[in-house]
């Protein structure tokens, strides 16, 4: 279909509307169980709505130029403009993509049968404290590095116990390579991908001992690329938790104190899908 000039929203007025994400943020910050004084929500809400509270977008934009899993794979993403403004920009379009592409979520069903699909994850599964474990130095020295239980213990020594129902993201330094595909994929002489991830032991420890909601990473997989069999996937997805992969801007995050909003596309029966991630720093 050839793009044509049409504005499907011309009948709508131009009244300003408060973005829905702000309401979500407000809900997140004052979940039941918070021990803040009664007056604190008012001050925090003022900070939120005035723009003084920091919100960091952890999402890479979807496009056909995103790095693709596999050494020489073609992009699974396409976008067609169905209706265009006079400038040529889309007024309406249609897209197609794989559900594990770009910044995305691996729902538990990705790692085992009869486990929750992406549409079966509820809001209590998708909001929580954010923990960032920095393994960028180890990863720069060893591209096959696997985050260990020792790394978790070192984080807790510096920052205190990992909160209950947190999302733990490994910062490897890979997100800053996003625009350089060769560096991001890091193919070796056999054109195999090489990048760090979580060890199976650490992944199981986080699930069993720390009751996490999920894990995430700023590269293409929570498993190191050189590891066979995706053991970290099995440890986390297989126990009903989720993964976040290709997370952006992790270098901007504090190690603790932030909250994470995970907002995946709600595909019925989906094994995962594109996700919009927001870190909220009170």
Three-state DSSP class for residue 277: strand
Give the pLDDT confidence score for residue 53 in this predicted structure: 80
Q: Cα(224)–Cα(144) distance, rounded to whole angstroms?
A: 6
> What is the pLDDT confidence band of residue 32, given thresholds at 50, 70 and 90?
very low
What residue segments make up the domains of the chain, in order of their start? 20-52, 78-281
Q: For position 282, what pLDDT does the model report? A: 87
Q: Are 41 and 30 in contact (CB under 8 A)?
A: yes
What rounded mean pLDDT belongs to the chain? 86
pLDDT at residue number 60: 97
Specify the range with the lowest mean pLDDT, choosing from 4-8, 71-75, 126-130, 163-167.
Answer: 4-8
Which residue from 115, 132, 60 is spatially nearest to 233, judged by alpha carbons?
A: 115
Q: List all residues 6 or more positions away from 190 whose beta carbon is below 8 Å from its beta carbon.
A: none
Q: What is the pLDDT of residue 7?
A: 41
Alpha helices in the chain (DSSP H): 20-29, 40-49, 123-126, 136-141, 149-159, 181-185, 200-210, 231-236
DSSP per-residue letters across 64-128: TTS--SSTTPPP--EEEEEEE-TTS-EEEEEEE--SSSSSEEE-GGGGSTTSPPGGG--HHHHEE
Count of C-beta atoms within a 10 Å radius of residue 258: 21
Q: Confirm whether pTM is higher than 0.85.
A: no
All residues at 6 or more sequence positions from 254 whose CB lies less than 8 Å from its CB, including other chains? 132, 281
CA distance 145 to 111: 22
Choice among 31-35, 110-114, 256-260, 270-274 with the minimum mean pLDDT: 31-35
Segment 252-280 shows an average pLDDT of 96
CA distance 121 to 242: 9
pLDDT digits (tens, 9 = 90+) for 85-134: 999 999 999 999 999 999 999 999 998 889 999 999 999 999 999 999 99
Architecture of domain 78-281: 3-Layer(bba) Sandwich (3.50)
Q: Which long-range contacts (CB under 8 A, 24 or more apart) does 20-23 make?
A: 21/261, 21/278, 22/48, 22/49
pLDDT digits (tens, 9 = 90+) for 214-248: 999 999 999 999 999 999 999 999 999 999 999 99
Whole-number Å distance between alpha carbons of 81 and 101: 21
Task: Give yes or no for residue 21 having a pLDDT over 80.
Answer: no
């Amino acid at each position: 279909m050839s793009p044509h000039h049409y504005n499907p929203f011309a009948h709508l007025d131009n009244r300003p509307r408060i973005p829905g994400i702000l309401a979500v943020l407000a809900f997140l910050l004052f979940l039941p169980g918070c021990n803040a004084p009664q007056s604190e929500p008012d001050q925090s809400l003022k900070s939120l709505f005035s723009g003084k509270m920091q919100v960091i977008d952890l999402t890479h934009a979807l496009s056909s130029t995103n790095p693709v899993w596999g050494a020489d794979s073609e992009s699974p993403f396409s976008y067609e403009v169905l209706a265009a403004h006079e400038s040529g920009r889309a007024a309406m379009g249609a897209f197609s993509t794989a559900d594990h592409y770009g910044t995305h979520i691996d729902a538990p069903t990705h790692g085992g049968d009869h486990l929750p699909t992406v549409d079966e994850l509820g809001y209590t599964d998708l909001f929580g404290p954010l923990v960032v474990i920095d393994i960028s130095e180890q990863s720069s020295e060893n591209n096959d590095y696997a985050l260990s239980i020792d790394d978790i213990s070192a984080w807790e020594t510096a920052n205190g116990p990992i909160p209950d129902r947190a999302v733990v993201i490994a910062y490897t330094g890979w997100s800053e390579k996003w625009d350089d595909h060769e560096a991001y994929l890091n193919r070796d002489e056999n054109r195999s991908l090489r990048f760090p991830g979580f060890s199976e032991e650490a992944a199981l420890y986080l699930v069993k001992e720390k009751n996490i909601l999920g894990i995430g990473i700023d590269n293409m997989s929570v498993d190191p690329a050189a590891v066979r069999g995706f053991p970290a996937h099995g440890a986390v997805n297989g126990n009903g938790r989720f993964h976040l992969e290709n997370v952006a801007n992790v270098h901007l995050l504090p190690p603790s104190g932030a909250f994470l909003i995970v907002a995946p596309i709600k595909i019925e029966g989906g094994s995962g899908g594109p996700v919009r991630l927001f870190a909220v720093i009170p």
